[in-house]
Structure 1
Amino acid sequence: MISMRQRTSFVPDVMPHLSAGRHRNPRRGACFMEFASYLAGERWSDHPACTDRTLAALARGVNDLVSDGRRDELVEHVPRAVGLRGGDEVALVVAVRAAVTALPIASLERQRVLAAGILSLCALLERRGVPSHDLREEAHRALDEVPDAARWARTHIASIPSRRARIDGISCELVVATAVVGAARACVDDPDTHLIRMLTAAVDDVERLLRPASPATTPLEARIPAPAAL
């Protein structure tokens, strides 16, 4: 069975101790998305069908790069990720959130990539009418904090022929990967806090998008589905 640990301020008794990487079975541990697959009653996997693929990619990245001492702060958010699936708009929102979080602290090279991603993704969100005004406003404020990267990104986007300026799920996952690594390797005192905020804020954003009537503060006990038998 999944290894348990004593109650802490973040991990109830019924929760597992998360660890980095992929695990063959629950006896070897669990990452964020493997535990999500368990709660969803799916086959044990770090790529379950219960969660949007871009959000799942973000969860795997944060799970693997956050420090061992802070990883269990993610556990309470695992049940929230179960069932968060939608159309392409979910991938766009997740990618923008990840990029916005990492942009101020990433290296200049990654800032340029993230700034270009933010500009392209926000434009697409607006064109498609996806409810994301607050996120887009936050994104533009983040761009204002890195004017050199933003200027480079606008020039770069303008140089790409419109027929080649295609954004898909893979593009969103590349933005997410750049954001996660950028935050993890940033020259800041506490990269873990940025990584954790990146994932939890993305879950908040997707919940607001898909479940506008359900507040993100639903008690943890009410969100945990009955686990499948192992």
Structure 2
Amino acid sequence: MPNISQAQSSSFDSKPLKVAVLVSGSGSNLQVLIDAMQAGSLPIEIVGVISNVKDAYAVTRAQQANIKTAVFSHITEGDKAGKRMGIKTFERHATAQLNEWQPDLIVLAGFMRVLSGDFIHSAPAPMINLHPSLLPKYKGLDTHQRVLESGDLYHGCSVHLVTAELDAGQVLTQAMLGVNKQQTAEVLQSRVQQLEHQILPWTILLIAQGVLNLEQINSDAKPSPYLPALPLKLWLDN
């Protein structure tokens, strides 16, 4: 795969793509985006990070980079104190926050809650998700163990448009590797994570440069005759 700085145009004269990121965990993919943004190799501005987990390290990463954060994790009133807030309550708060930030793109990077169709359709920008499998195979959880149990020769990750149906939106890009059947699910996960750190910024670069036009893809308009059919695939065996 080409380096982002090699793939970019000679200069990013246009306004950077405003990106909001939803997270639940450690935020390693968020960190990749932060590093690329700060290095000037990705024409984006991360306008804010929303987490549904109070102590997610991704929130710390964002705060260390002086990026706005919002955490909607627990109900703090009445006899429900300490319990996770319901998805509708989370979505209400998250929608208000996204409307305030007005991003051009919403990225789910390790976000571990299923979002409703109403939330997705009312979002102020297109929404993409990074999923650790070669969709449409292995939607949902435990993808690495399922790949090993199936005996698949290939595995990888996908970036796709978010729809109300879980992991079912149009796949934009995929990165692939060969499966070593002697490795554990944990080792396979680590290998796939290395692909994630490449495919996510590369996909966002394609969106920022207009190579991937999400409005056109969402509208079922005729794709450009100069691009291969989606998903765009990268072989990144490691």
Q: TM-score range by the shorter chain?
A: under 0.3
- TM (normalized to structure 1)? 0.27
State the TM-score, normalized to the length of structure 2.
0.26
Structure showing greater relative contact order (alpha-carbon pairs closer than 8 Å, 6 or more residues apart): 1
- Relative to its length, the structure with more helix (as a share) is 1
